[in-house]
Every structure is written in C-alpha cells, then in structure tokens.
C-alpha cells in the first residue's frame, strides 16, 4: 500500500516491529505477574522504602530491554537475578551492606525452578480480586471507574452523570487506574481476608 494511504486511514499506529511486540507481550504475560513477589524481595533487601518504586522500575526497564534483544527462557529466574544484580551494584556504589544480604532468595520462598503460579487458580481468583480492588477505591473514584468501565460511558458522560467537571472526572479516573494497577500487580494474588 502506498504511503499516502496510511495517512487517510487516520489514527493508526505505525506497525511495531515483531520482536518489540513479542517483548511487550512477554513482559505483560510473564513479568508483571511477578510484581508482588518482586516488591517483597526489594523491600526485604533495601532499607529505604521510598526507593522501592524506582528500584522496581529499574528492574522492569532492564528486563524489558533485555527481552527486546532476546526473550529469556526462564522469566522468573531472569527477573530475580536482574533484581539481585541491580541491588548488589547499588550497594557497592553506596558502600553499604554486605553482598550476602541479597543472595538469599530462598528466605522468601522464591522457588526458581518451580513454574509460576497455577494459571487456573489465578483465573479463578481474578474476578474476586477485581471486585475487591474496585471495592477498595475511594467512593467517587470508584463511581467514575464503574461508570467508565462497566457502563462504558465516555469521560464527558461520566462528568454529566456525576455532576462534576471533566477535569475532576479525569482526576478520578487517572487516580483509579493508578491505584488499580498497584492493587492488581503490586499485591499478592491470594487475599488472606477472603479464603478461597
């Protein structure tokens, strides 16, 4: 198809290269589900809690960039090895804490050879988990998210329905998305308050 036609198609993203698409899918499928354990690992090995978000992001960036070159065979072990190496480098830079402190993966019960969490068990819990996450949003935020996600309303329609400005709706929705992402990826899958 000549290049000019692409123009007329309108908003269409230039096709991403296949290996980048692969890396994205792999990241979403294999890496993101490890976030809760990864956070736990980082908290366990790093004193300053306010650094956790940045550390997590750095692990993600390294893992993702590696995956763009080649998709690692064993995602879990790759992610935690990356995290471990990164922590060791940070500690060396800051001349703190003996290296041994971060080699201790077993202490957290992170079995490297074990397969990831049972997919069907995860799936069974997924809806309960989603509901629980929505329930825990602040009320106005929850209302905006429910109107937008379940009733499928646009931002403008939500504003009308809730009787607030569009900017307020945007804020609720954005906050809601952020919070949901932390609840869905940042927290362990099994919720101790709700036995299965």
Residues that bind another protein (CB under 8 A): 1, 5, 8-14, 16, 21, 24-25, 27-29, 32, 53-54, 56-58, 60-62, 64-66, 81-82, 85, 89, 119-120, 123-124, 126-128, 130-131, 134-135, 142-143, 145-152, 154-156, 158, 161, 169-170, 173-175, 177-178, 180-181, 184-185
Inter-residue contact 59 to 102 (CB < 8 Å) = no
The whole-angstrom separation of Cα 130 and Cα 133 is 5
Residue 151 in tokens? 């009733």
Beta carbon nearer to another protein, 10 or 98: 10
Inter-residue contact 56 to 42 (CB < 8 Å) = yes
Inter-residue contact 72 to 62 (CB < 8 Å) = no
Taken as a whole, the chain contains a residue count of: 196
- Closest approach of another protein to the CB of residue 190, in Å: 16
Beta carbon nearer to another protein, 54 or 104: 54
- Closest approach of another protein to the CB of residue 164, in Å: 14
């Amino acid at each position: 198809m000549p290049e000019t036609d692409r123009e007329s198609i309108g908003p269409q993203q230039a096709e991403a290269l296949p290996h980048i698409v692969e890396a994205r899918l792999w990241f979403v499928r294999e890496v993101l589900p490890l976030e809760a354990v990864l956070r736990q690992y980082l908290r366990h090995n790093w004193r300053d809690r306010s650094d956790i978000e940045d550390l997590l992001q750095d692990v993600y960036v390294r893992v993702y960039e590696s995956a763009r070159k080649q998709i690692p065979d064993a995602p879990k072990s790759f992610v935690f090895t990356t995290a471990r190496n990164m922590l060791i480098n940070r500690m060396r830079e800051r001349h703190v804490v003996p290296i041994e402190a971060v080699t201790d993966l077993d202490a957290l019960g992170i079995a490297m050879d074990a397969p990831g969490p049972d997919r069907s068990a995860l799936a069974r819990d997924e809806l309960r988990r989603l509901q629980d996450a929505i329930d825990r949003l602040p009320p106005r935020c929850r209302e905006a998210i429910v109107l937008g996600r379940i009733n499928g309303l646009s931002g403008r329609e939500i504003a009308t329905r809730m009787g607030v400005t569009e900017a307020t709706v945007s804020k609720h929705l954005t906050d809601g998305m952020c919070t949901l992402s932390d609840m869905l990826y940042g927290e362990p899958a099994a919720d101790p308050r709700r036995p299965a």
